[in-house]
Amino acid sequence: MKVTKHILANLLLTCTLFFTHNVYAIHCTAGADNYFCRDEAQAVIDTANQALNTSNAANSTANAANTTANNANATAQNAQTTANAANTAAQNAQTSANKAQNTADAANTAAQNAQTSANKAQSTADAANTAAQDAQASANNAQTTADAANSAAQNAQASANNAQATADQALKDATDKANAAEKNANIYTDSKITDAKTELNTNINNSKNEAITTSNNYTDSKV
């Protein structure tokens, strides 16, 4: 645009010079030396024509430059529009990126919190697992102790059963022996009583017979 204004300024100056020389030519025609004035006027006209041609060429150049400038301006405006659209897109992209970054930061924070919770849960699970293992070990020890106690109780029960069987057998044997002894004692006593009765009866009979005999003998002696 600045180049076009400069060319138009030169064109205006050229036209001013043309009109100045044209007035001078008219003035010379009215003078005494008509031939010289005609030559001078022709020279001025030629100069004016050259100036006009130069002006036309400059005007064409100016028009072309103006067209080029307009095209450049349109291109620049299009480029500016494109740049503005690109800037808007970049700002939108930056906004989206910021939102995405915020979302990512929030997700990262949530992930870190989840990891912390997971670590705590893992620690709790490890502690619970350790406690469960300790409890299992204690249960195993208690089971071993209970098994040993049960085995000892079974052994004691077996011993008690054996002792009871032995005691029962001893009691039976003692009872049988006592019964046999009592039976034998009764038989012996009955036998002795029978023998004593028999001997007593025999002695009584003998005493009776002896008394009778003695009495008879005494009686006979007295008679």
| Amino acid in position 152 | A
Q: Which of 11-25, 68-82, 116-130 has the highest mean pLDDT?
A: 116-130
For residues 59 and 11, the answer to whether their CB atoms sit within 8 Å is yes
Tens-place pLDDT, residues 128-152: 999 999 999 999 999 999 999 999 9
The pLDDT value given to residue 48: 83
% of the chain beyond a pLDDT of 90 = 54
Domain ranges of the chain: 2-104, 160-223
16, 32, 41, 97, 117 from 11: Cα distances, Å: 9, 34, 21, 57, 85
Which of the pair, 149 or 52, is modelled with greater confidence?
Answer: 149
**H or E, element range at 30:** none
pTM: 0.39
Tens-place pLDDT, residues 2-13: 444 555 555 555
Instruction: Give the chain's mean pLDDT.
Output: 84
